[in-house]
């Protein structure tokens, strides 16, 4: 037997699922089957590809009652929140709806002598490496448009959510998508590296850590394989003096704590105008003290364990270091906090940017709140980060939000909302958050390449 991947459930530390990785030989054979299947898949009419992909999406939805507790076992999200099918379906449906327009030929001009146009053609074999925190929604961001555009897909899911890719592939196959067109694969890091370095893929989409993204780029070096990445984040919220205070507190604290803080665009630091600061902190503390930490299979649980003990250890370390350096922790330990995956959510004040909790990605249920006196100060602090995914601005003045947003180094600017992925907008980042863009028309452009046609007519 080769190497085995084990999903350790955060509920009780037991092995929830195990799968054996493919050998190097079998992995390359899978990639060759995918490549062989691509031309026939791309030759199918666009409408047929859309129909098959959406049938696969519906088939995943039909399994939701099984998927929700499965996710709780694998990564700890409470069952009360009902899984991910709403967002999964919304994203795929939007990409299906805009496919014809996004993939249409670009007419450049035609006269009696020439016809000129640009086509969007699929890359070929797209390798999707998906994360565990929103395992269905993050995967479908690329899987659906890649297949619709005429690519074939090989999906490698995180070990923490080992069964997700298997579920998706089986559902899509049952709906009529050919098995070699959409493959779920279990791979170790060495074989993954060899496949990328060996030109097995034409495009790689990776969502995960900065280190993981760097490993993907190193593997692809010299191959000219495109690599799209969404990596770390340290997303800020900024509450201006004219903000709707209650809405700002409710949304930003939910954005910081939902899914035990394990959200790509979760709020990790908050800057509040001095006139609202004390009231904001008081309301935030009251909200967090009302959470119920516990077993995610319990319908009364509002905050489950972090997905892995080592993730919780990092958050505890950041909190402890901040408190030692002068930060104030406002939440007393919850009874369910076991020192392991079950972690008390925390609000910190008296924080500074010298503390790791305000610089490093926490990816857990902790947020630091700082007082600011002006837009200038808030902009400087929001940009004082190696990451750039989203920022959430709270004001009644749309023009002001746009002006501030223009100066913030992020991929998305929210006004009066946070922690939401709109499939009509490009999902992208800058700095160490990575490069590329998913969803929207731009997502299709990143999953295809331009091909120009300059056709001279014979007129005699």
Which CATH number belongs to the domain containing residue 198 in this structure?
3.40.605.10
Q: Give the pLDDT confidence score for residue 1 in this predicted structure.
A: 60
Q: Which domain holds residue 210?
A: 4-231+434-456
pLDDT digit string (tens) for 47-72?
Answer: 999 999 999 999 999 999 999 999 99
CATH number of the structural domain spanning residue 318: 3.40.309.10
427 falls within a domain: no
CA distances from 54 to 50, 96, 148, 245 (A): 6, 8, 10, 40
pLDDT digit string (tens) for 16-37?
Answer: 999 999 999 999 999 999 999 9
324 falls within a domain: yes
Number of domains in the chain: 2
Q: Give the pLDDT confidence score for residue 459 in this predicted structure.
A: 82
Q: How would you write 329-396 as a 3-class SS string?
A: ECCCCCCCCCCCCCCCCEEEECCCCCCHHHCCCCCCCEEEEEEECCHHHHHHHHHCCCEECEEEEECC
Residues 246, 178 share a domain: no
Which one of the listed residues 70, 84, 230, 361 is annotated catalytic? Answer: 230
**Active site annotation includes 426:** no
pLDDT at 460 over 80: no
d(CA 27, CA 90): 32
27 falls within a domain: yes
pLDDT digit string (tens) for 313-329?
Answer: 999 999 999 999 999 99
% of the chain at pLDDT higher than 90: 99
pLDDT digit string (tens) for 372-416?
Answer: 999 999 999 999 999 999 999 999 999 999 999 999 999 999 999
Residues 341, 275 share a domain: yes
Structure tokens at 41: 């898949």
Residues 407, 273 share a domain: yes
**Active site annotation includes 264:** yes
Q: Are 452 and 106 in contact (CB under 8 A)?
A: no
Structure tokens at 306: 């972090």
Q: Are 147 and 54 in contact (CB under 8 A)?
A: no
379 falls within a domain: yes
Q: Where are the beta strands (DSSP E) in 62-151?
A: 106-110, 114-122, 125-130
**Whole-angstrom Cα Rg for the chain:** 23
Residues 388, 329 share a domain: yes
pLDDT digit string (tens) for 126-184?
Answer: 999 999 999 999 999 999 999 999 999 999 999 999 999 999 999 999 999 999 999 99
Residue 198: band (very low, low, confident or very high) from pLDDT cuts 50, 70, 90: very high
Sorted by sequence, the CB contacts under 8 Å of residue 1 that are 6+ apart come out as 20
Q: Give the pLDDT confidence score for residue 2 in this predicted structure.
A: 78
Q: What angle do CA 381, 386, 391 make, to 5 degrees?
A: 55
d(CA 336, CA 304): 10
Residues 297, 177 share a domain: no
d(CA 243, CA 273): 9
In angstroms, how far is CA 415 from the centroid of its own chain? 20
Residues 112, 251 share a domain: no
Which one of the listed residues 263, 264, 265, 426 is annotated catalytic? Answer: 264
Q: Are 147 and 53 in contact (CB under 8 A)?
A: yes
d(CA 159, CA 132): 8
Q: H/E element holding 184?
A: strand 182-184
């Amino acid at each position: 037997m080769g190497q085995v991947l084990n999903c350790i459930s955060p509920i009780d530390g037991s092995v929830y699922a195990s799968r054996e990785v493919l050998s190097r030989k079998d992995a390359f054979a899978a990639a060759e089957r995918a490549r062989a299947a691509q031309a026939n898949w791309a030759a199918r009419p666009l409408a047929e590809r859309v129909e098959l992909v959406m049938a696969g999406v519906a088939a995943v939805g039909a399994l939701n009652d099984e998927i929700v507790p499965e996710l709780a076992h694998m990564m700890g999200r409470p069952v009360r929140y009902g899984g991910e099918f709403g967002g999964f379906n919304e994203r795929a449906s939007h990409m299906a709806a805009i496919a014809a327009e996004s993939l249409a030929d670009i007419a450049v001009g035609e006269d009696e002598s020439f016809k000129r146009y640009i086509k969007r053609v699929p890359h070929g074999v797209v390798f999707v490496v998906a994360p565990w925190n929103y395992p269905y929604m993050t995967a479908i961001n690329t899987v659906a448009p890649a297949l619709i555009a005429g690519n074939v897909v090989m999906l490698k899911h995180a070990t923490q959510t080992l069964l997700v890719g298997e579920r998706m592939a089986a559902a899509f196959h049952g709906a009529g998508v050919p098995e070699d067109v959409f493959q779920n694969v279990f791979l170790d890091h060495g074989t993954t590296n060899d496949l990328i370095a060996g030109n097995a893929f034409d495009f790689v989409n990776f969502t995960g850590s900065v280190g993981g993204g760097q490993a993907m780029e190193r593997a692809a070096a010299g191959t000219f394989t495109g690599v799209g990445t969404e990596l770390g984040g340290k997303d800020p919220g900024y509450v201006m003096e004219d903000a709707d205070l209650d809405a700002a507190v409710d949304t930003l604290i939910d954005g910081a704590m939902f899914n035990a803080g394990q959200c790509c665009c979760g709020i990790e630091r908050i800057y509040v105008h001095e006139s609202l600061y004390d009231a904001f902190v008081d309301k935030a503390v009251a909200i967090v003290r009302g959470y119920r930490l516990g077993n995610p299979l319990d319908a009364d649980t509002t905050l489950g364990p972090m997905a892995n003990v080592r993730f919780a250890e990092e958050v505890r370390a950041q909190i402890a270091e901040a408190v030692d350096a002068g930060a104030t922790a406002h939440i007393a330990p919850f009874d369910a906090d076991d020192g392991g995956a079950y972690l008390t959510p925390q609000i910190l004040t008296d924080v500074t940017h010298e503390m790791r909790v305000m610089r490093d990605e926490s990816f857990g249920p902790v947020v630091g709140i700082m007082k600011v006196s002006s837009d200038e100060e808030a902009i400087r602090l929001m940009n004082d980060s190696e990451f750039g995914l989203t920022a959430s601005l709270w004001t009644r003045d749309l023009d002001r939000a746009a002006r501030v947003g223009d100066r913030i180094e992020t991929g998305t600017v929210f006004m009066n909302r946070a922690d939401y992925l709109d499939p009509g907008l490009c999902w992208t980042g800058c700095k160490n958050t990575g490069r590329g863009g998913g969803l929207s028309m731009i997502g299709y452009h990143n999953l295809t390449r331009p091909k120009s046609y300059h056709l001279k007519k014979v007129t005699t």
